Amino acid sequence: GDSVTQMEGPVTLSEEAFLTINCTYTATGYPSLFWYVQYPGEGLQLLLKATKADDKGSNKGFEATYRKETTSFHLEKGSVQVSDSAVYFCALRARSNDYKLSFGAGTTVTVRA
Amino acid sequence: DTGVSQDPRHKITKRGQNVTFRCDPISEHNRLYWYRQTLGQGPEFLTYFQNEAQLEKSRLLSDRFSAERPKGSFSTLEIQRTEQGDSAMYLCASSDSRDSNQPQHFGDGTRLSIL
């Protein structure tokens, strides 16, 4: 079935450091890919998305590129801030089951001043 | 855009009791989804509605769980005879199926704790 594997955390960084969170997926066909972020005590917020191969999603300094050849959608940010501390979830939506999202386990990121 | 609203935010109850949660989606969204998130895990799909029709249910949704969306607007999720394993965050999301590229928008969730 469809599944997402994320880099395990937790990840602790200093402010202005470079962040990468790895995400790979297994799905039939070409799914849509998403990164969601969850701040403490809150629900999930969409961070960025890509709907086809080679698409790059970007938002708030974060980027991820849909790589069909490596079935990956790694999240990157060049210079993190304390306010980026959160849990990040990679997710896919298969074209055959367009009603549901399949999530990875999440990666907790803590940025220290 | 008022966002997806869930009520209550927190629910503490004793094992064996029934609980009901409510979700109000974004008003123009015709799809509504329920997910469950346990500690340290990503959300898992439970069920979804298109308008008032419940079109899919996960195997995670045991017969103690029931969801309704009677008028195609708000939805309720009821858990009967709660068990310790039901402790989790229950998330609701909504989307507009007429835009295939539109993502799901999530509420802040209801955290259920079973004593």
Q: B36: closest CA among B114, B113, B109?
A: B109
Q: Is the peptide bond before B43 cis (omega within 30 degrees of 0)?
A: no
8 A C-beta contact, residue B105 and residue B94: yes
Chain B residues whose C-beta is within 8 A of a chain A C-beta are 4, 6, 31, 33, 35, 40-45, 48, 50, 55-56, 91, 93, 100-101, 103-109
Mean pLDDT of A77-104: 93
Give the rounded percent of residues in chain B with a pLDDT score beyond 70.
99
Tokens of A3: 């599944």
A40 contacts chain B (CB < 8 A): no
Mind listing the pLDDT tens digit for each residue in B16-61?
999 999 999 999 899 999 999 998 899 999 999 999 999 999 988 8
Mean pLDDT of B71-85: 95
8 A C-beta contact, residue A29 and residue A42: no
For residue B97, is pLDDT > 90?
no
Q: Do A4 and B42 touch (CB under 8 A)?
A: yes
CA angle B3, B9, B15 (to 5 degrees): 140
Mind listing the pLDDT tens digit for each residue in A22-57?
999 999 888 999 999 999 888 899 999 999 999 999
In this complex, which of A41, A46, A105 lies closest to B41 when CB atoms are compared? A105
Residue B1: predicted pLDDT: 55
Residue A49: predicted pLDDT: 95
- Taking every pair of Cα atoms in chain A, the longest distance, rounded to a whole number of angstroms, is 44
Residue B98: predicted pLDDT: 86
Nearest CA in chain A to B4: A43
Q: CA B65, CA B46: separation in Å to the nearest integer? A: 10
